[in-house]
Amino acid sequence: MPINKRWVVKPQGDARTVERLSAALGIAPVLANLLVQRGIDTVEKADKFFNPSLSDLHDPFLMKDMDKAVERIEQAVRSGEKIMVYGDYDVDGTTAVALMYKFLRQIGHKNLLFYIPDRYTEGYGISIKGIDYAARKGVGLVITLDCGIKATEKIVYAKQKGVDFIICDHHLPADEIPKAVAVLDPKRPDCNYPFDELSGCGVGFKLVQAYAQKNGIPFEQITHLLDLLVVSIASDIVPLTGENRVLAHYGLEILNSSPSEGLASIIKICGLDTHTITIDDIVFKIGPRINAAGRMRMDENDENAAPSGGYAAVSLLIEGNEQKARELGNDIDSFNQDRKSIDRNVTQEAHDYIESNPELKKRKSTVVYNPKWVKGIVGIVASRLIETYYRPTVVLTMSNGMVTGSARSIPGFDLYQAVESCSDLLENFGGHMYAAGLTMRPENVEEFARRFNEYVEQNIDPQTLIPQVDIDSRLLFSDITPEFNRQLNRFQPFGPGNTAPVFVTYSVSNRGDAKLVGAEQDHLRMDLVQREKPNTAIQTIAFQQPTHYEWIRAGHPIDICYQIVENHYRGTVSTQLRIKDIKPVGK
């Protein structure tokens, strides 16, 4: 059953400001309006927005503890001390580990290893097993990326084992900061760094930048690492504003011109080697493949080994040999195929369970539990269920004798508070407004589901349960010219804080060539014309929107809201409208 969506047109920019910017910049008023909507209301601001510069990056030593971190690494490098780079098993963590590892190798440090905790046996963050592994291997310094900000007790344990830690994280800290050698986190309340929305890999890059700056290494010698950084920025859904916009802009340049061998192998596997790679390509094609490795369970037979799914991802990302990178890339791709098969099956099982349970179906939240589901894909399944039922969702499974799972929210509802309201039933939990992880005893699942739904029922605004499409402005098909598209491309990279514009065009129609495409025949491909210029047809695709097919094919009018994208097909590039929603006119 399709979900009816609300269309909300954003407030338009001040007319005089839009007119002034349009004339000064030589761009269409619609595009000038997009700038003003983004808070860019002067020519100077527009110039900075359209021309990101590496000179706009902040001094890394403005970050709390940066001087201590650099000094400790210098000490380790001078003495040949063994360094272990430790990071989370997701894209942000594995790219961050690869970035730091490659830099340390670049400056000639050979006494080096990396460690990715296993999602299933260790879970997220610094683990006792990881610390023991470091001590057993004679590691004197561990640099953590994308984790560690809450590992207060683990750092105490590591000190007892004679292992120093530098923590690089970007998550919110608890009341107590771990007593590591250095704790780099722009979200620390006592840190005055000007930009606090870096990814975990971004914090790692600032440490690399600081080390290079202090040791006379030209900045140009570390820019090759930006291909890894842009993959983390895109995949971790951090705001594409400020420093992230600059780093992503130049990261995309590297990714498109001279990516490292590991990323090049994934790019080729994805079929992205024939056109310009965008943030969307990373989010939907490159990132999921890297992520898939960390989601899959790996065998571990040797107690001295440190394998995990994420270990395979880092091995690929640091590989310098083209042939070996191709082999590792194929392995990663097979993980992704396995992951897709598993998450499809689990999603279907969850759907079937909800559909067969009328009581659950009518609730304002979803909580589903099956002890046989794979822990690594429950977050994906939660997101898939939201696509169908559009409500706060928790998917639970069994792992190591405990019930564990992932929660996902919808825009406008604070999921973390809902989970926190049930904290007395939980062993531990963490996350933010739109995503959380949680663990509980099996006997608490039923009561958790009841209490979680009760909190949602009492606190959610009914309007929030209706999906909303935010529209930037109205557009005529005749406005979509090659020059308009060229100027629109200058707004990239798109992402949170600088989303791809959504336009609305009213009363358009098809002349009978609409087709249902895709394996499930659930995508609608069609050319549309507008009454003002009936001779100009524009190509469109509406993913998972087959509902109005007969109405459209019969030539009846529709209103559409959409994004403008480049379609690459068999070597040709064309403008395509990616339709977000369709409303029949007069049906």
CA dist., res. 525 & res. 553, Å (int): 11
Mean of pLDDT values over 386-390: 91
Q: Is the pLDDT of residue 460 over 50?
A: yes
Q: What is the mean pLDDT of the chain?
A: 91
Q: Would you state the pLDDT for residue 586?
A: 80
**What angle separates helix 226-235 from helix 261-269, to the nearest 10 degrees?**
50
Asked whether the beta carbons of 123 and 294 are under 8 A apart, the reply is: no
Q: For residues 316-338, give the mean pLDDT.
A: 88
Q: Kindly tell me if the per-residue pLDDT of 434 is higher than 90.
A: no
For residue 339, the model assigns a pLDDT of 77
Report for 244-248, 464-468, 509-513: range of highest mean pLDDT: 244-248
Which string of b and e fits 556-568 if b means at least 16 CB within 10 Å? Answer: ebbebbbbbbeee
Residue 44: pLDDT band with limits 50, 70, 90: very high
Residues above pLDDT 90, as percent of the chain: 74
pLDDT score at 312: 86
Whether pLDDT at 307 is above 60 = no
Across the range 101-105, mean pLDDT stands at 98
Question: Token pair for residue 469?
Answer: 């499409």
Residue 118 or 397, more confident:
397
- pLDDT, position 193: 98
pLDDT of residue 340: 78
Measured between its terminal Cα atoms, the distance across the chain in Å is 17
Predicted confidence band of residue 308 (pLDDT cuts 50, 70, 90): low
Global pTM reads 0.88
Q: What is the pLDDT of residue 534?
A: 67
Measured distance CA(10)–CA(476) in Å, rounded: 17
Write the Ramachandran bin of 19: left for phi over 0, alpha for psi from -120 to 50, otherwise beta.
Answer: alpha
- pLDDT at position 459 is 96
Q: Say which range, 15-29, 130-144, 281-295, has the weakest mean pLDDT.
A: 281-295
Q: How far is CA 165 from the centre of its chain?
A: 27
d(CA 248, CA 492): 10
* pLDDT value at 305 more than 90: no
Mean pLDDT of 273-295: 86
Q: From the CA atom positions of the chain, what is the Rg in Å? A: 25
Q: Alpha-carbon distance 496 to 515, whole Å?
A: 32
Give yes or no for residue 268 having a pLDDT over 60: yes
Question: Is pLDDT above 90 for 429?
Answer: no
Structural element, H or E, at residue 404:
strand 402-408
Beta bridge partners of 486: none
Cβ count within 10 A of residue 451: 17
Distance CA 250, CA 54 (A): 8
Q: What is the pLDDT of residue 216?
A: 97
pLDDT reported for residue 298: 46
Q: Is a pLDDT exceeding 60 seen at residue 88?
A: yes
Amino acid found at 107: I
Q: Pairing between strand 164-168 and 366-369?
A: unpaired
State the DSSP string of 263-297.
HHHHHHHTT-TTS---HHHIIIIIHHHHHHHHHS-
Is the pLDDT confidence value at 428 over 90?
no
Give Cα separations from 335 to 321, 331, 332 (angstroms): 21, 6, 5
- In this predicted structure, what is the pLDDT of residue 297? 52
The β-bridge partners of 142 are 84, 165
User: What's the rounded mean pLDDT across residues 288-297?
Assistant: 74
User: Domains in the chain, start-ordered, CATH in brackets?
Assistant: 6-11+468-584 (2.40.50.460), 56-334 (3.90.1640.30), 357-465 (3.10.310.30)
pLDDT at 343: 82
Question: What local confidence, expressed as pLDDT, does residue 437 receive?
Answer: 87
519 pLDDT band (50/70/90 cuts)?
confident
Q: Quick one: pLDDT band at residue 296, thresholds 50, 70, 90?
A: low
Pairing state of beta strands 503-509 and 83-87? unpaired
Least confident segment among 296-305, 487-496, 566-575:
296-305
CA distance 215 to 233: 27
Q: What is the mean pLDDT of residues 189-203?
A: 96
pLDDT tens digits, one per residue of 63-73: 999 999 999 99
Question: Span 404-413, mean pLDDT?
Answer: 92
